[in-house]
């Protein structure tokens, strides 16, 4: 009998412990996805949870969850409803012998017309669940009617892609990899002890027929010796391709054996690990106090009411956070007016710019491959969100169809950062001594998705003047590449590296981030039009004016989808309005909102590059499509390993009419990231945003009569006496 080495035996025992002792997705551990301190692996995309931080959010019992009875047509499924869906599926003939793996189970929202007609107190429209499941390698997309207790639609393999990865998929990939003898020998040869091993599971993308017909995933490993920040210590060149369904290794790539594992020095980012204070003047604690409490309230679990705004908010396993039925009250008439029916982050595209065997496939589509909600860890009180925040838990579904809680996933709070709502002062030359100013206080709904090494912070910010700002912040860890070079002087002139040296033996690889938002604007009703207002240079005629040129605004109403595919251009400026032609101001202007871009970036990849085909929704910064309840995910319903045949770009090619009808705006926010040393070992947050701003929506300044602050309104907080 062949002798088994001690190392090999330890691997087998560890995997056995992992398989039989792991409590995945247990509802009794809300917010940790079943991870406990004894769980060897807890990974989503490429993350192993590290516990014990000084700022670790304490896991509490579920709170702020909806009741057992939904109160609004758009409320997420409740625990009893999820259990009922599971029971219906268990009795459903195709699944009666073997229950499928659930990859998505959420509310199948009612038709938009029924939601718009509904008034509080009316019976809810029929409650239905949308389910995406896998069984025997086949994808099943089902609709379950909870009132009838029946599956009312069932579609098999509707596209080339597969559903969002589950934690069970990641578990299988790690088990298969760590039980492979060749992999173990390769890790030992790199000088990494098994006890220090941390492995991640990057998605595979799609790169031709060799990877079709099977669900595959990549596995790469790191050393966590001496640091929780294993991302900075890659075992460069070792990549394992695993067939998830067959539970077998398809390919092992083991190159770059001579590249050392980077050192752990200065990689630990935790507060308690810092051995000396920063060389800077200390900051005193700062907090925005609300002596009379919050000005907003959350009713019926999901309806937010603040100042002149009312909207519905809910956590979502894929999108993270969804804002619906956003309405603003007219400051003159008191009318509650519709602004947006539904807004959310539809898809992310994150391509890395390295073509090596261990890097070319790193072109993530984070929402459709991993889910923004399921990767949203509990927010950190006083650091992620201020003192007077309201926290909302998410209720999601595990692979076995049972509910679990994602605790403290969303926070809602008011913000005053010293900004000004409006102001004007008059110099005392015309007998007017006027100084008028109003503070800008806003309401923020926030979530943060930790999709592997990156943290994405999503803010929806509402202003009393009717503006909605959508902001994305990026933080977390770089995805780095090991290199033999310790400084730039060692890099040969003829050698091109795929990024910047950010530490010794560590390259921060150049990459992009694109976040595409689905914005279903309903400005005073669903029938809207998209108007491009071009600023065009006009030249004056001889003798007409001392001026030689001026700008003129020319309006163009988009008739078809192709008219509303917009690439932003600095030297061809335009405004982009969504208007209701049937709702006019007293002056005859159509009520509208405009998209206000901030700093952004465009994808520069070849349009025929496989990852760009899959993410063709980033080919333009703005798209407009007619409303279609099946067209919500810019990368398609089934994204994992998809070929790009079901994307926003494909839908838009139908070139449907979009004038004076129910339309959806799609906006892509982009970042080019060339890493620098300041991004090591954890990145300071970088942000960008876009805004939805009223244009002739109100008759005049809607916050003209807002109240200024007076000293008597605010308490004076003083430092405690030192005596």
pLDDT tens-digit series, residues 572-604:
999 999 999 999 999 999 999 999 999 999 999
> Is the CB of residue 407 less than 8 Å from the CB of residue 422?
no
Nearest to 439 by CA among 457, 473, 464: 464
Between the CA atoms of 703, 459, 651 and 527, what dihedral angle is there, to the nearest 10 degrees? -20
Mean pLDDT of 248-257: 94
The dihedrals phi and psi of 86, each to the nearest 5 degrees, come to -60, -40
Which two structure tokens, joined as six digits, stand for 29?
A: 């551990």
Average pLDDT rounded to a whole number, residues 615-630 = 98
Contact 523, 593 (CB under 8 A): yes
Instruction: State residue 672 phi and psi, 5-degree precision.
Output: -95, 130
| CATH 3.20.20.70 describes domain 6-27+165-268 | no
- The model's pLDDT over 365-424, given as tens digits with 9 standing for 90+, comes to 999 999 999 999 999 999 999 989 999 999 999 999 999 999 999 999 999 988 999 899
Q: May I ask the CATH architecture of the domain 79-156?
A: Roll (3.10)
The pLDDT of residue 278 is 87
- Please provide the average confidence, as pLDDT, over all residues in the chain: 89
Residues forming a β-bridge with 240? 219, 252
State the Cα–Cα distance between residues 396 and 79, nearest whole angstrom. Answer: 9
Range in 48-52, 254-258, 532-536, 545-549 with the lowest mean pLDDT? 48-52
How are strands ordered across the β-sheet holding 138-145?
Answer: 101-107, 128-135, 138-145, 150-156
Selected residue with higher pLDDT from 36 and 357: 357
- pTM, full prediction: 0.91
pLDDT at 211: 79
Q: Could you tell me if residue 650 is left (phi over 0), alpha (psi between -120 and 50 degrees) or otherwise beta?
A: alpha
Phi first, then psi, for residue 216 (nearest 5°) are -120, 160
- What does the DSSP 8-state code read for residue 166? P
Query: Residue 63: pLDDT band by 50, 70, 90 thresholds?
Result: low
| Higher-scoring residue by pLDDT: 51, 248 | 248
Domain boundaries of the chain, sorted by first residue: 6-27+165-268, 79-156, 304-713
Strand segments, DSSP code E, in 120-178 are 128-135, 138-145, 150-156
**How many Å apart are CA 637 and CA 630, to the nearest integer?**
9
For domain 304-713, the question of CATH label 3.40.50.1980 is answered with: no
Which residues belong to the active site? 366, 454
**Strand pairing category for 511-521 and 661-673:** antiparallel
Rounded to an integer, what is the distance from CA 557 to the centroid of its chain?
A: 32
Residue 288: predicted pLDDT: 82
DSSP readout, 419-453?
Answer: -EEEEEE--TTSS---EEEEE--EEEEEEEEEETT
Phi, psi of 307 (to 5 degrees): 50, -115
pLDDT of residue 16: 36
Sign of CA dihedral 83, 89, 92, 98: negative
Q: Could you tell me the pLDDT band of residue 64, with boundaries at 50, 70 and 90? A: low
Q: Which residues of 318-345 are buried (b: 16+ CB within 10 A; e: fewer)?
A: bbbbbbbbbbbbebeeeeebbbbbbbbb
The reply to whether domains 6-27+165-268 and 304-713 share a CATH topology is: no
Tell me, what's the pLDDT at 292? Answer: 86
Radius of gyration over alpha carbons of the chain, in Å? 27
């Amino acid at each position: 009998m062949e002798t088994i080495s001690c190392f090999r035996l330890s691997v087998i025992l560890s995997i056995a412990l992992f398989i039989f002792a792991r409590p995945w997705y247990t509802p009794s551990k809300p917010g940790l996805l079943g991870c406990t301190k004894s769980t060897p692996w807890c990974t989503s995309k490429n993350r192993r949870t590290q516990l014990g931080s000084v700022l670790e959010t304490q896991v509490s019992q579920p709170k702020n969850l909806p009741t057992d009875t939904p109160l609004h047509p758009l409320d997420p499924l409740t625990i009893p409803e999820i259990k009922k869906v599971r029971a219906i599926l268990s009795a459903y003939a195709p699944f009666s012998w073997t229950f499928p793996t659930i990859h998505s189970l959420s509310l199948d929202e009612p038709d938009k017309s029924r939601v718009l007609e509904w008034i509080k107190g009316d019976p809810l429209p029929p409650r239905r669940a949308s389910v995406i499941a896998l069984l025997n390698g086949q994808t099943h997309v089902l609709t379950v009617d909870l009132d009838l207790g029946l599956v009312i639609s069932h579609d098999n393999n509707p596209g080339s892609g597969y559903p969002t990865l589950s934690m069970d998929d990641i578990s299988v990939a790690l088990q298969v990899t760590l039980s492979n003898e060749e992999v173990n020998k390769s890790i030992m040869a790199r000088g990494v002890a098994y006890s220090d091993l941390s492995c991640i599971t990057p998605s595979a993308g799609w790169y031709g027929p060799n990877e079709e017909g099977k669900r595959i995933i990549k596995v790469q490993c790191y050393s966590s010796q001496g640091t929780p920040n294993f991302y900075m210590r890659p075992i460069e060149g070792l990549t394992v391709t695993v067939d998830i369904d067959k539970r077998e290794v398809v390919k092992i790539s083991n190159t770059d054996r001579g590249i050392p594992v980077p050192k752990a020095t200065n990689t630990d980012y935790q507060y308690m690990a810092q051995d000396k204070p920063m060389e800077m003047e200390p900051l005193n604690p700062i907090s925005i106090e609300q002596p009379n409490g919050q000005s907003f309230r959350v009713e019926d679990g999901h309806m937010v009411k603040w100042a002149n705004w009312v909207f519905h908010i809910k956590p979502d396993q894929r999108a993270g956070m969804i804002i619906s039925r956003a309405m603003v009250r007219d400051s003159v008439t008191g009318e509650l007016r519709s602004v947006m029916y539904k807004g959310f982050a539809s898809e992310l595209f994150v391509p890395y710019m390295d073509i090596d065997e261990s890097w070319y496939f790193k072109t993530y589509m984070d929402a459709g491959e991993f889910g923004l909600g399921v990767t949203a860890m509990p927010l950190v009180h006083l650091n992620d969100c201020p003192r007077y925040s309201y926290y909302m838990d998410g209720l999601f579904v595990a692979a076995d169809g049972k509910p679990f809680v994602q605790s403290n996933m969303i926070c809602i709070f008011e913000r005053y950062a010293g900004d000004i709502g409006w102001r004007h002062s008059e110099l005392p030359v015309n007998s007017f001594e006027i100084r008028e100013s109003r503070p800008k206080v806003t309401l923020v709904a926030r979530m943060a998705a930790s999709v592997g090494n990156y943290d994405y912070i999503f803010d929806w910010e509402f202003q009393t003047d009717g503006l909605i700002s959508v902001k994305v912040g990026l933080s977390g860890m770089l995805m780095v590449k090991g290199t033999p070079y310790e400084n730039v002087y060692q890099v040969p002139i003829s050698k091109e590296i795929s990024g910047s040296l950010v530490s010794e033996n560590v390259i921060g690889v150049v990459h992009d981030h694109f976040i595409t938002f689905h914005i279903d604007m309903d400005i005073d009703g669903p029938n809207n039009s998209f108007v491009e207002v071009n600023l065009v240079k006009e030249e004056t005629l001889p003798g007409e004016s001392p001026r030689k040129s001026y700008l003129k605004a020319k309006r163009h109403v988009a008739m078809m989808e192709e008219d509303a595919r917009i690439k932003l251009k600095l030297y061809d400026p335009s405004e982009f309005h969504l208007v209701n032609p049937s709702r006019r101001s007293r002056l005859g202007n159509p009520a509208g909102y405009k998209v206000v871009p901030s700093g952004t970036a465009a994808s520069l990849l070849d349009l025929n590059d496989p990852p760009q085909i899959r993410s063709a929704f980033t080919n333009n910064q703005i798209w407009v499509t007619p409303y279609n309840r099946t067209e919500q995910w810019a990368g398609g319903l089934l994204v994992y390993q998809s070929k790009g045949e079901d994307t926003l770009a494909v839908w838009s090619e139908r070139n449907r009419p979009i004038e004076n009808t129910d339309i959806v705006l799609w906006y892509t926010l982009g970042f080019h990231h060339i890493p620098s040393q300041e991004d090591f070992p954890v990145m300071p947050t970088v942000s960008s945003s876009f805004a939805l701003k009223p244009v002739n929506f109100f008759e005049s300044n809607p916050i003209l009569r807002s109240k200024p602050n007076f000293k008597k309104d605010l308490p004076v907080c003083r430092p405690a006496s030192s005596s």
